Every structure is written in structure tokens, then in C-alpha cells.
Amino acid sequence: MYAMVAILDFAISAVMIFEPIYLYSLGYSLRQILFFWLAVYVLYFFTVPVGAHIAQQRGFEHTMFYGSVFLVLYYLCLFGAGQYPCLLFLAVPALVVQKFLFWPAYHANFAHHSVQDEQGREISNLMVLDSLVYILGPLMGGLIIKMAGFKVLFVVVSFLIILSNIPTLMTPEKFIPRKFPYLDTYKAMFKPANRRQLIACLGYGEELIALIIWPVFIVIIFKDYLSVGSLAALSTLVATLLVFYVGRATDKKDKYSVLRLSTMFCSASWLLRIAVNTSIGVFLVDALSRISKASLSIPLVSVIYERSRQGSVMHGVVFYEASLVLGKIMVAVLAIALISIFDGGFSMIFCLAAVMALLYSLL
């Protein structure tokens, strides 16, 4: 699992920060880019249980492999979108299928196999591994774009995505096929007993702004793709130094106190971005954001996995995934409205992200 994640996330980290920048470079406005991602997440919200059913029928690891094929198709659509804009309409369903095949299977696989008393440590180890590849990935992505362009990057990333499946497919997967009722997820989301977890997961809406709006803001300041990749790599390196400690603290101390403290720093990092207009300022707030997000993600995901194991693992992780997607849909709609009302709109959008981040602490 760790080997698969290392290769896959190295590929994704090389291109993810540049995806909205690529669309922006093709002439699409921030509002149009947000509409693109809004379409993705609305469709994903209503298809998450479909992916869970396939994973229950075909096995977690095989379903993740199927998802990787559609992720390659997504990047191939981006490859040709500059010449054939209609391919963006195909990119949306390709990414939706990848998401509903990969993420429920991924979370269920990890929750099912992780050790109860070492869950925080295992998640932090995974995040440190992620951080290491997220140091190298953006550097490689920025260098490839500078030397050869976006299209070469999409091809390299597609090759690595297919390669990432080898570690998990080398060993046989044992599972008993089960059904996953489609409506169970949506019924569970609105039960009073699940209300706090639902609201907490809505906080992931701030992640949409971090993935879509923040990279475009950075490139406006830096105006150089390699500099953007270098900044992401350097701030990730700083964040990595603290993740090991947080993982062990999560196992030994109260998960909720770690979560609440990290949430405050995460929210503050968004408010600080309002005043940023220099490269040093961008680096500092980006580093603070990555540190706080990694610190809150460890106890948050650990609690989600623990609760999932108390009942049906797949029901628990699908509830988690659908809830966070709902948060991203809400933020996409609000961000589009803010951009339409306010000129530029960056400051208002960063305030929105700060408010959404506070919801994590309600878990």
C-alpha cells in the first residue's frame, strides 16, 4: 500500500498544483475553472456509492487499479484540451469515474488493514511518505513544464500512474463479494447521530480553494512554473519535519485536542494569505498551511477510521467521502458567487476558506 501511494502521489504531486494553472494559461477564468470542478464534485457526490459497490464486488485493490485507468484518460483529455477544448467535457466524467472507483476503495483498504493502537502512527508514516514525494514531485513537474511543456508532463504522469498499481497487484487479494445499497449513504448523512461528523467533514471545502484558487494566486505572484514547484516543495519539506511527532502524539494523547489546535492554525493560515503579496510571504503561509493541515488530518482520519471499524468499514468511509465532497460543492458555489460579486475576490475567498477550516474541530 505504501509503495503504491509513493509512486501514485509522486505522479499526482508533479501535476496537481499545475492543473488549475494549465487551465488558466489556456484562457479560462477562475469562475470557469471553478465551474469545471463543481461539475466534477456534483457528479461524484451522487456516484460515490456506485464505487463502493464495485469495490465490494471486485476487491479494493482491483477497483483502485480500474480507477487509475480513468485517471490516465483524464490527463490525456487535458493533453488535447489546448487544441480541442471539447475534450474538457470528456475530462469531467473521466475524473468522476476515477474518484468513485479509487477513493472509497483506498480508504476502506487502509481502514481495514491498519492496526488499531498504531493508527495515528501508520497514518503519519503515510503522510511523511507523501510529503517526501510531494517535495520531489512539484520540482519535477515545474522543471518538465519549463523545459518541455505541459503535454510532456501529462504523458510522464500517466506512465507513473499505471506503474503505481504493480505493488498492490503483485499479491492476491482475499475478499468476500458484498452488495452496497445505494441510498444508505445519503440516509446516514442526515441522521442526528452523524450530524457533528457531517459538519466536520464539510470543512474539506477549504481544500478545494487550496487546490484550485491558491495555485493560480501563486503563479500570479511568481509568474514562473519552476518557482511555483520549488515553493511547494520547500514548504512541504518544512511541514514534513513535524508530521512524525504529530502521529505519535495522536496515539498517545487526546486526538481531539491535537485536532482542535491544528484547526486553529489552519484557519489562521488562510486569513494571513489576505495580506500576502511577496514570494517570502507566500512561502511562509503555504508552509504554515501544510503543517497545520497535515497535523489535523492525522487525528481526523484516525478517528474516522476507528469509527468505520466499529460497523461496516465501507459504509463509514463512503459517508466520510460523500460528506467532504458536499463541503467542496458548497465552497465551489460560494466561491463562484464571491468572484462574480467582488472584483478579483481572492480576499473574500480566503476568508471563506478560514471559516470552513474551523469546521474540522467539530468532529
Q: Could you tell me if residue 179 is inside a domain?
A: no
SS3 at position 174: coil
Q: Could you tell me if residue 178 is inside a domain?
A: no
**Cβ contacts of 243 within 8 Å, gap of 6 or more:** 124, 127, 128, 131, 294, 295, 298
- Closest by CA to 29, choosing from 212, 228, 222, 276, is 212
Expressed as residue numbers, the domain containing 111 is 2-167+189-362
**Cβ contacts of 287 within 8 Å, gap of 6 or more:** 234, 235, 238, 239
Q: Are 255 and 295 in contact (CB under 8 A)?
A: no
**Cβ contacts of 211 within 8 Å, gap of 6 or more:** 16, 17, 20
Q: Could you tell me if residue 119 is inside a domain?
A: yes
Q: CB atoms < 10 A from the CB of 224, how many?
A: 13
**Cβ contacts of 83 within 8 Å, gap of 6 or more:** none
Q: What is the pLDDT of residues 198-218, one digit of tens each?
A: 999 999 999 999 999 999 888
Q: Cell for 72?
A: 490516465
- Closest by CA to 98, choosing from 90, 110, 109, 87, is 90
Q: Could you tell me if residue 116 is inside a domain?
A: yes
| Residue reference for cell 476503495 | 105
Q: Could you tell me if residue 181 is inside a domain?
A: no
Q: Could you tell me if residue 34 is inside a domain?
A: yes
SS3 at position 212: helix
Task: Please give, one letter per residue, the 3-state secondary structure of 237-262.
Answer: HHHHHHHHHHHHHHHHCCHHHHHHHH
Q: How confident is the prediction along the chain (363 residues), in pLDDT tens digits per residue?
A: 888 888 998 999 899 989 999 999 999 999 999 999 999 999 999 999 999 999 999 888 889 999 999 999 999 999 999 899 999 999 999 999 999 999 998 888 877 766 555 555 666 677 677 777 878 888 899 899 989 999 999 999 999 999 999 988 887 777 778 888 888 889 888 889 889 999 999 999 999 999 999 998 888 887 777 778 787 777 777 777 666 666 555 555 667 888 888 899 999 999 999 988 888 888 888 888 888 888 888 788 878 878 777 777 888 889 999 999 999 999 999 999 999 888 767 899 999 999 999 999 998
CA–CA dist 234, 5 (Å, integer): 21
- Closest by CA to 106, choosing from 297, 317, 299, 311, is 317
How buried is residue 32: exposed, middle or buried, by Cβ count under 10 Å (0-12/13-18/19+)?
Answer: middle
Core vs surface per residue 61-77: b (16+ CB within 10 A) or e: bbbbbbbbbbbbbbbbb
State the pTM of this model. Answer: 0.89
| Half-sphere exposure (Cβ direction) of 61: Cα atoms closer than 13 Å | 19
The CATH number linked to 163 is 1.20.1250.20
Q: Could you tell me if residue 308 is inside a domain?
A: yes
- Closest by CA to 67, choosing from 57, 55, 85, is 55
CA–CA dist 329, 352 (Å, integer): 13
CA–CA dist 256, 234 (Å, integer): 29
Q: What is the pLDDT of residues 172-202, one digit of tens each?
A: 777 778 888 888 889 888 889 889 999 999 9
Domain count, the chain: 1
Q: Percentages helix, strand, coil for the chain, rounded to the nearest 5?
A: 85, 0, 15
Q: Could you tell me if residue 172 is inside a domain?
A: no
